[in-house]
């Protein structure tokens, strides 16, 4: 299937925005983080970055939202740049089949989380990025990476969201201390948790996120480049683990690597063809954007970009 022209794609996105905004079942916003509970649910945005540098968008594409777990992709890219394959001694590369915040496998698997995208694995990844540095420097590196990849300096951490999660993040605190009990945290748990909450509280628009994703789509003219092998591997993990226990269903419906966040964002990569960001804050039962997932399904059907 040949990719649609930018004009055809733009009309499709406008129509998709109309269809999505007409709906009444938006899902439920993440209310376990108090700041996110107040986000109006009936919102939708989509942006598609193309290899020629264009970004096509529809809906509320200039509204920053909390990227939450989408940040885990960029932390992973940074940490692999810093310590390479050493990370895999501490974190696995298999789907967990459990929810993002589950603790059950950690006991059985002796504190080595299944993958870097479930919360336990993301805490270890952030901990590895933090090693021998202060949280401020670590977060500055992550923001520098995102701003460079998106070619936009207007990307910031929403401190109210970070503090809101910190005040209620008992499950993540439990995970961090449990990891520490197995010797799989190198920093004090509170430092790792604080860095993780701030990384999750980065706010971006879909335009910015789609631009940042170009680094994974391996566009030759993207402002930042990962090695082909690194980009391939991160995409593989997004495909198999990026939607937690909903990863199989996302691959089945969309057929593209994706990473979701409880803020309602999803970053989707069509290697060599597009970097797509969708946002709609209502979630499905897996904690992934309900309308965002449906929109991704429509995009895959319209464009023929599925890798399968
Ligand atoms: O750690 C948490 O629970 C949140 N900061 C991030 C979780 C998340 O985004 C799960 N993704 N759908």
Q: 38, 31 in Cβ contact below 8 A?
A: no
What is the reported pLDDT for 287? 94
Helix (H) or strand (E) holding 277: strand 274-279
ipTM value of the model?
0.99
Q: 160, 38 in Cβ contact below 8 A?
A: no
What is the reported pLDDT for 3? 86
What is the reported pLDDT for 171? 97
- Confirm or reject: Cβ of 100 under 6 Å from ligand 1: yes
Residue 21 scores a pLDDT above 90: yes
Q: With cut-offs at 50, 70 and 90, classify the pLDDT of residue 25.
A: very high
Interval 169-225: pLDDT, tens: 999 999 999 999 999 999 999 999 999 999 999 999 999 999 999 999 999 999 999
CA angle 181, 184, 187 (to 5 degrees): 90
What is the reported pLDDT for 296? 98
Give the Å distances, CA to CA, from 190 to 128, 179, 229: 14, 12, 34
Q: 19, 12 in Cβ contact below 8 A?
A: no
Q: 211, 270 in Cβ contact below 8 A?
A: no
Residue 5 scores a pLDDT above 90: yes
CA of 51 from ligand 1 middle (Å) equals: 30
Gap between the Cα atoms of 58 and 42, Å rounded: 15
Active site residue 178: no
Query: Which one from 79, 244, 247, 275 is the annotated catalytic residue?
Result: 244
Domains in the chain with CATH codes: 6-68+203-303 (3.40.710.10), 71-200 (3.40.710.10)
Gap between the Cα atoms of 209 and 127, Å rounded: 24
- Counting beta carbons within 10 angstroms of the beta carbon of residue 29, is it exposed (0 to 12), middle (13 to 18) or buried (19 or more)? buried
Q: With cut-offs at 50, 70 and 90, classify the pLDDT of residue 119.
A: very high
Give the Å distances, CA to CA, from 189 to 83, 100, 168, 176: 20, 19, 15, 6
What is the reported pLDDT for 2? 82
Q: With cut-offs at 50, 70 and 90, classify the pLDDT of residue 24.
A: confident
Interval 77-103: pLDDT, tens: 999 999 999 999 999 999 999 999 999
Averaged pLDDT, 102-131: 97
Residue 1 scores a pLDDT above 80: no
CA of 35 from ligand 1 middle (Å) equals: 13
CA of 225 from ligand 1 middle (Å) equals: 27
Averaged pLDDT, 106-128: 98
Question: Of all residues in the chain, what percent carry a pLDDT higher than 90?
Answer: 98
Query: Which one from 70, 73, 254, 262 is the annotated catalytic residue?
Result: 262
Interval 254-290: pLDDT, tens: 999 999 999 999 999 999 999 999 999 999 999 999 9
Residue 303 scores a pLDDT above 90: yes
């Amino acid at each position: 299937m040949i990719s649609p022209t930018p004009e055809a794609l733009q009309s499709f996105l406008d129509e998709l925005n109309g269809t999505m905004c007409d709906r009444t079942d938006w899902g439920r916003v993440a209310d376990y983080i108090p700041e996110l509970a107040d986000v109006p649910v009936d919102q939708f945005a989509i942006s598609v970055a193309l290899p020629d540098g264009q970004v096509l968008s529809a809906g509320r594409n200039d509204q920053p939202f909390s990227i939450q777990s989408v940040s885990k992709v960029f932390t992973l890219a940074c940490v692999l740049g810093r310590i390479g394959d050493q990370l895999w001694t501490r974190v696995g590369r298999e789907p967990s089949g459990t929810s993002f915040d589950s603790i059950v496998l950690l006991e059985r698997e002796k504190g080595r989380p299944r993958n870097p995208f479930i919360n336990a694995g993301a805490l270890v990844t952030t901990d590895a990025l933090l090693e021998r540095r202060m949280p401020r420097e670590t977060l500055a590196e992550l923001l520098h990476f995102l701003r460079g990849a998106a070619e936009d300096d207007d990307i910031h951490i929403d401190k109210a969201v970070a503090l809101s999660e910190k005040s209620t993040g008992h499950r993540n605190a439990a995970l961090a201390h449990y990891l520490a009990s197995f010797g799989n945290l190198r920093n004090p748990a509170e430092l790792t948790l604080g860095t993780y909450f701030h990384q999750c509280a980065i706010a971006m628009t879909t335009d910015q996120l789609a631009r940042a994703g170009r680094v994974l789509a391996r566009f030759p003219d993207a402002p930042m480049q990962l090695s082909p092998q690194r980009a391939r591997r991160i995409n593989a993990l997004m495909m198999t683990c990026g939607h937690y226990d909903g990863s199989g269903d996302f691959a089945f419906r969309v057929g593209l690597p994706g990473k979701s966040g409880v803020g309602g964002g999803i970053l989707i990569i069509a290697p060599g063809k597009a970097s797509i960001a969708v946002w709609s804050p209502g979630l499905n039962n897996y904690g992934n954007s309900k309308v965002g997932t449906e929109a991704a399904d429509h995009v895959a059907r319209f464009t023929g970009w599925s890798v399968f």
